Structure 1
Amino acid sequence: MFRHLAVAVMALAAVTTATAAPASPAEATTRLVPAADREVAFTADGTTAYGTLHVPRHRAGQRLRAALLLPGSGPTDRDGNQPPASSPDTLAQLAGALDGEGIVTLRFDKYGTGRTGLGAYRDHPEELDYPAFLRQARAAYESLRDQPETDPHELLLVGHSEGAMTGLVLGGTVRPRPAGLALLQPQAIRLLDLVTLQLQAQVDEATRQGRFTPEQQHTIDAAIDAAVTSLREHRPVDTTDLPAAIAQLFEAFQGPNARFVESDDAVYPPDTAAALRPGTKVLLTCGTNDAQVPCATTNALTNALRHAHTGGPGRVTLPAVDHLMHDPDHPSTLAPSVLGALHRWARH
């Protein structure tokens, strides 16, 4: 009887062992990990910056394409907002769109926003210049590269407005080089040239509405041109002939923001395209309702990308889309044409 009992116990042990055996490598790779967000921290210039890493649903152990999301100008946080005045959630919505393409995203609070704050620049914010923001973005790229879910050979840069210019500059200098860039409504000419275009367009509209005479418009336009020349030549700006709001803007440009404005204006985006790796897949969007970055301002950059032998899809014109990538039927979400352009770029 004991012999039969021992055999039974051994058989039971064999069954128990079989059911408790670890999953095979093939079984492990088929296990799906649900989509999740987590807080990420990285350091640049002695300041800890904070961001959100979004990882789409994926197979356990899978390495995914990954995109660094770069915000536009001003105090724009990780979600693409400037609270309380503006909360379009531009970057958060881009992260959601790229989740659908199976792409990991990292978005972060740039200097002066969110959990990051001013950090090491707290007591001297006037020393913040454009290269400081570039160094912060480079540190974010390296943090994204080192995440366990990302494929370091399939890194991407996705920038909106000024963030697109930042992505363009980084694209030719970071290691490893990115596989692709999405330049969304990009700052594609020098900063002060873009400011001039924007201000003179506003003055033209005000003249059309009867708030200025044609003679006053001519005077104001000339004063704007002179103010830009003075800034670039490091001379005081004469604001005598400028409306109060425009005068205040130029006073800020030569005051606490002088260092940033000068260093940002020194970058001519088309010149940076030559450093991109040939074959880099580039999407450049412009919206026909974008008053801040009109499509015509992207002509030189589009040509430079072609001469740099970058890949497609290239420039995509988005009908009725504004600077925040909305259209009249989608005033608070990314327009379908934007999502379609991102999908085509991601497929490349």
Structure 2
Amino acid sequence: MKTFPHLTAAVMSLAVVTATPAEAAPGLVPAADREVVFTADGTATYGTLHVPAHRAGHRLRAALLLPGSGPTDRDGNQPPHAAPNTLAQLAAALDADRVATLRFDKYGTGRTGLGAYRDHPSELDYPAFVRQATAAYALLRDQPETDPHALMVVGHSEGAMTALLLGGSAHLRPAGVALLQPQAIRLLDLVALQLHAQVAEAARQGQLTPDQQRTIDAAVDAAVTALREHRPVDTTGLLPAVAQLFEAFQGPNGRFVQSDDAVYPPAAAAALRPGTRVLVTCGTNDVQVPCATTDALTAALRRAHVGGPGRVRLPGLDHLLHDTDHPDTVAPAALDALRRFAER
């Protein structure tokens, strides 16, 4: 299950070369990582700009990489417990196609931390993350190596929803938006769907009776309704772990949850510029955002007259873009879909 911690901003950049390979051929600038920092809503946000090897003076395609929910850092990790390196691996794959990338430590992670929200974390809402991503996009747009007319936004999970919003609002709209295993329905609908699936599996295994399953399902739906109506949640009938989840949703994470749940991604699709290249991936083994949750978004994208490749079903892939043959790395099928999307 997902975890939830939780437009124009002034941008200040500081670039320091942190890695330079061996000497390049004459006229070729070697690949390098630059540590960058930009300011969003008074918070210094830290990230990594990767510039592939390129001819001097040549402007590169570039992609902003956005992480999923929870305390997920610039590499796509939640240390110390989870280190799939999702975004770092996507950056490496895009480097092979000469695409520059920017990834950053969002609020609550890495060097950035909570920043301006340190003393009042409960005031951190979802729009703050969108503004932070918008500031990162402006930084990437203004780099001397990047082509401002060939920018892309690539988001994973919740970051895909942020990418969708950014694609419809950024100054100099992106040429492409990649939505990898996206949060494609309202947050609390997704949470309810995940919980119902877990309860059904517990009943299938004999851990719950049919009556218990019906009681818990009804309590979950009632809790979602209460949250949306700004009423206290009655946790009677909920399993202890589920009760704790909903208590957190109306406690320190309440503002974030309410503001995230207010976004309906299919409606946001209408703001995309017609012809924008859009990729939507769905893994058939993704239990967090099943393929069916992307149906309404896919239909909305068609109505918005965006370009392809559109939705790509990835057989056997889970939420982290892994399959049984690649349990610790992004599977080739996902990387191939991303590379096809990134082509001019």
Shorter-chain TM-score bucket reads over 0.9
Separation in 2, partners of 1:197, 1:109: 29
- Corresponding residue for residue 145 of structure 2: 149
Contact kept, 8 Å, 1:32 with 1:60, in 2: the verdict is: yes
Identity among equivalent positions (%) equals 77
Structure 1 runs not aligned, ≥5 long: 1-28
What amino acid maps onto 1:109 in structure 2? D
TM-score scaled to structure 2, two decimals?
0.92
- Corresponding residue for residue 161 of structure 2: 165
Structure 2 runs not aligned, ≥5 long: 1-24
* Aligned partner (choices 103, 120, 125) of residue 124 of structure 1: 120
- Corresponding residue for residue 215 of structure 2: 219
User: How far does residue 156 in structure 1 lie from its aligned partner after superposition?
Assistant: 0.4
Q: Looking at secondary structure, tell me which structure has more helix per residue.
A: 1
* Aligned partner (choices 310, 313, 328) of residue 306 of structure 2: 310
Separation in 1, partners of 2:31, 2:243: 49
- Corresponding residue for residue 114 of structure 1: 110
Contact kept, 8 Å, 1:30 with 1:60, in 2: the verdict is: no
| Deviations, residues 88-141 of structure 1 (Å, cap 9, x unaligned) | 001000101111111000000000100000011000000000010011000000
- Corresponding residue for residue 234 of structure 1: 230
* Aligned partner (choices 55, 58, 65) of residue 59 of structure 1: 55
User: How far does residue 340 in structure 1 lie from its aligned partner after superposition?
Assistant: 1.1
Runs of 4+ with deviation above 3 angstroms: none
Pair 1:322 & 2:343 matched: no
Q: State the structure with more CA Rg.
A: 1
Pair 1:342 & 2:344 matched: no
Separation in 1, partners of 2:78, 2:314: 25
CA RMSD of aligned residues (A): 0.9
Separation in 2, partners of 1:334, 1:76: 16
User: How far does residue 30 in structure 1 lie from its aligned partner after superposition?
Assistant: 6.5
- Corresponding residue for residue 19 of structure 2: none
Q: Secondary structure at the match of 1:43?
A: strand
| Deviations, residues 314-344 of structure 1 (Å, cap 9, x unaligned) | 0000000000000000001111110111121
Contact kept, 8 Å, 1:279 with 1:311, in 2: the verdict is: yes
User: How far does residue 221 in structure 1 lie from its aligned partner after superposition?
Assistant: 0.3
- Corresponding residue for residue 7 of structure 2: none
| Deviations, residues 186-218 of structure 1 (Å, cap 9, x unaligned) | 000000000000011011111111110111000
Separation in 1, partners of 2:154, 2:330: 15
* Aligned partner (choices 189, 192, 195) of residue 193 of structure 1: 189
Matches within 5 A, 1:64-103: 64-103=60-99
Separation in 2, partners of 1:63, 1:288: 37
- Corresponding residue for residue 271 of structure 2: 275
What amino acid maps onto 1:94 in structure 2? L
- Corresponding residue for residue 28 of structure 2: 32
What amino acid maps onto 2:244 in structure 1? Q
TM-score scaled to structure 1, two decimals?
0.91
- Corresponding residue for residue 12 of structure 2: none
Count of equivalent residues? 320
